């Protein structure tokens, strides 16, 4: 099994009601051997249209965050809890998240085998923490999921709604968080080593 085969299998999935309203299944993408995996909530309108994860406004902000931290998007793997767009961008229901993660996300993680997983937002964090924790409390802390380091961060869509860069703002905290992720990745043995960059206190995105 590899990611391409898994993606091909997912295209015809109708295991939950989200199949009814989707244009297409939006599978994860990125480096199949990534050290760092981001897991969002689910596809939005643009993702549903293009069939790729994180290509809308929130995805563009995630690109900027990665670029500011010196993490090439091509080196990471990006996916979602559910692979089909929930109607009107509502939060995926627990049975939808369960159906999708069990079929696809867990197998994506097995195949990519990342060293660090960053859940973006409360829905993704809940899957890895095994309980509902407000993202304001979960972010900025390290957890473990089946031996993999997990570090929840705010969802970029939340940052779009809270654009302040003031100290203590979600954007400012995210800037610190992504640098913490980078610091830990660089402290781990390879898969691959990268150069260390000093931690900046001001957001660059
Ligand atoms: S959301 Fe996931 S489980 Fe539901 S139909 Fe889409 S791919 Fe299948």
Range of the domain at 123: 3-185
DSSP per-residue letters across 47-113: HHHHT-SS-SHHHHHHHHHHHHHT--GGGSEEEES-SSPPGGGPPPPHHHHHHHIIIIIHHHHHHH-
**Which of 10, 26, 83 to mutate to test ligand 1, by most ligand atoms within 8 A of the CB atom?**
83
- The number of domains in the chain is 1
CATH number of the domain at 149, please. Answer: 3.40.470.10
In a domain, 179, yes or no: yes
In a domain, 45, yes or no: yes
In a domain, 160, yes or no: yes
In a domain, 176, yes or no: yes
Closest CA to 25 of 90, 95, 103: 103
In a domain, 178, yes or no: yes
Ligand 1 pocket at CB < 6 A: 10, 13-16, 18-19, 25, 82-84, 96, 99-100, 103
Distance 166 CA to ligand 1 centre (A): 39
In a domain, 191, yes or no: no
- Reading the chain (205 residues) residue by residue, the pLDDT tens digits are 899 999 999 999 999 999 999 999 999 999 999 999 999 999 999 999 999 999 999 999 999 999 999 999 999 999 999 999 999 999 999 999 999 999 999 999 999 999 999 999 999 999 999 999 999 999 999 999 999 999 999 999 999 999 999 999 999 999 999 999 999 999 999 875 433 344 455 555 5
Distance 107 CA to ligand 1 centre (A): 14
Nearest residue by C-alpha to atom 3 in ligand 1:
100
Q: Dig out the tokens for 178 from the structure.
A: 């992504």
In a domain, 194, yes or no: no
Nearest residue by C-alpha to atom 6 in ligand 1:
84
């Amino acid at each position: 099994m590899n990611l391409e085969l898994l993606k091909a299998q997912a295209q015809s999935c109708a295991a939950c009601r989200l199949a009814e309203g989707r244009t297409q299944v939006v599978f994860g993408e990125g480096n199949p051997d990534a050290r760092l995996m981001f897991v969002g909530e689910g596809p939005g309108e643009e993702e549903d249209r293009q069939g790729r994860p994180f290509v809308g406004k929130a995805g563009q902000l995630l690109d900027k965050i990665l670029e500011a931290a010196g993490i090439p998007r091509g080196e990471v793997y990006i996916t979602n809890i559910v692979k089909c767009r929930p109607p009107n961008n509502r939060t995926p229901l627990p049975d939808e998240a369960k159906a999708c993660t069990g079929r696809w996300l867990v197998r994506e993680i097995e195949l990519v085998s990342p060293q660090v997983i960053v859940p973006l937002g409360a829905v993704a964090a809940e899957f890895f923490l095994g309980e509902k924790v407000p993202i304001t409390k979960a972010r900025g802390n390290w957890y473990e999921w089946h031996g993999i380091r997990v570090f929840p961060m705010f969802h970029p869509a939340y940052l779009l709604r809270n654009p302040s860069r003031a100290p203590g703002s979600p954007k400012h905290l995210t800037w610190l968080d992504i640098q913490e992720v980078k610091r830990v990745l660089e402290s781990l043995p390879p898969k691959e080593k990268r150069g260390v960059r000093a931690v900046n206190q001001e957001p660059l995105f």
